[in-house]
Amino acid sequence: MRILVISNLCPPDYDGGFELSALRNANSLRERGHDVDVVTSEFRTTYQGERVDPHWVHRIFKGSQTKDGWSTAEMFLGGDSDLRFKIGNLFNQVNLRLANIRVLTNMLDMAPSNEAALDKFLAENDYDAAYVFGLHKIGTSVIRSLMKKNIPVLYHQGDEWLAFYLYPGRLKKLMLNLASPITYFRERKIDLKHVYLVSNFMKQRFMDAGLKEEQLGVIYRGVEFPLREDFDRERFDPPVFLVASRLTLYKGIHFAINAAAILDQRLPRAEWELWIAGHGDSTTMQYFHGLVEELNIGHRVRFIGKHSRDSTYAHMQRALAVISPSVFDEPFGNTNIEAMAAGTPLIASRSGAIEEIIDHGKSGLIYDRHKADELAHHMQLVLVNKDLRRSMKIEALMRVKELFTQDRVIDQVEAKLAQIAGLESPLQTTEKKKVSLQ
């Protein structure tokens, strides 16, 4: 198949896991013999790294560089994902929502030129199907370019932005129509027949927004790293509980720190440490360091800075357990399946899709996301119960093999792309060969 992948950003210049997934899945499809191109935004002016791409990545779009409201959400969220208006945070709520509207209006300004850029690109290139990831920096009207050439579209959405942009509340819809009525009308007239989400949790969010169930499906994300079955390998000494995340309040870092303080009181003589990998803004980091000092657990907690994905995975393999303390409703959470693939017990907050990823008590442990004492209890269980640690490692790896390998994900993507393109998938061809040989 000839496949066009569309992503608002593309590594090495990227924001999150869904952009990494876009490039990884495109590369996996190429490795299976498909002719794949990626179209994405130009490098941002803020990007400081090396600007080198493979020949099949084409940077044709202008991308919005306006920061969204999550960059200011720390001020009032208090580590919660609840964005409802409250009297106590009314001013900050208004600022957040205005910041998000600015992002959208900036994107609306760029959408017509991005649609024209894709029109020009498609005048010289044709594809059997398009595979679409994030569009929140380039605009949804680029899909119109595909519709003009009758190229079917498969979406693989890692967040709820698309649903709540195309099916907004009344106030947001009014503001977007006031900002740019013609462009926003065009933005909404796109093919949405095949929208796949990264979890059933996200599928329900899209249905809540107004999409029909028959439009929607689920394809999980896959882990790209090699699976580790050598469960008895050498680990950090003293034992390490590892958090690897953006260092923000909505990722629940402060709950992990408070849980460490509780565990320190319960087991003052036990040997263990909490390592926190990642980076955050200076104000938030100051708060986290201050909390460690206030709780007098500097001997337990280490901030080890931002690490590459390979280095983070290496740390996971040597940790006693990985903690995912998010208080934000995670659409999926790649860190979770990476910890499981590393053969390391996972302790995760009950947020978003986590109960689709692990079976509590078997392949991992889940705690109430606002209860640091419950997290501390689970940390203690893992620390003292060797049999539980081993059984969770085995069960977690079995679950990854069943649901979350990169090969399994690409099998599903490949089959769906072939289906919408009206072509026979490689799996169907293989099955027919087996039948003919019999």
Residuewise pLDDT in 10s, the chain (438 residues): 999 999 999 999 988 788 999 999 999 999 999 999 999 999 999 899 999 999 999 999 998 776 654 444 443 344 444 434 344 444 555 666 666 777 788 889 999 999 999 999 999 999 999 999 989 899 999 999 999 999 999 999 998 889 999 999 888 889 889 889 999 999 999 999 999 999 999 999 999 999 999 999 999 999 989 999 999 999 999 999 999 998 988 899 999 999 999 999 999 999 999 999 999 888 889 999 999 999 999 999 999 999 998 999 999 999 999 999 998 888 998 999 999 999 999 999 998 999 999 999 999 999 999 999 999 999 999 999 999 999 999 999 999 999 999 999 999 999 999 999 999 876 555 555 454 545
Sign of CA dihedral 420, 421, 426, 432: positive
All CATH 3.40.50.2000 domain ranges of the chain, comma separated, are: 2-222+405-430, 240-403
Assign domain 2-222+405-430 to its CATH superfamily: Glycogen Phosphorylase B; (3.40.50.2000)
User: Cα(347)–Cα(260) distance, rounded to whole angstroms?
Assistant: 13
Instruction: Note whether 26 and 18 are within 8 A (CB).
Output: no
User: Cα(340)–Cα(342) distance, rounded to whole angstroms?
Assistant: 5
Q: Which fold has domain 240-403?
A: Rossmann fold (3.40.50)
Instruction: Note whether 314 and 240 are within 8 A (CB).
Output: no
The full DSSP string for 93-152 is HHHHHHHHHHHHHHHHHHHHHHHHHHHHHHHH---SEEEE---TTT-TTHHHHHHHTT--
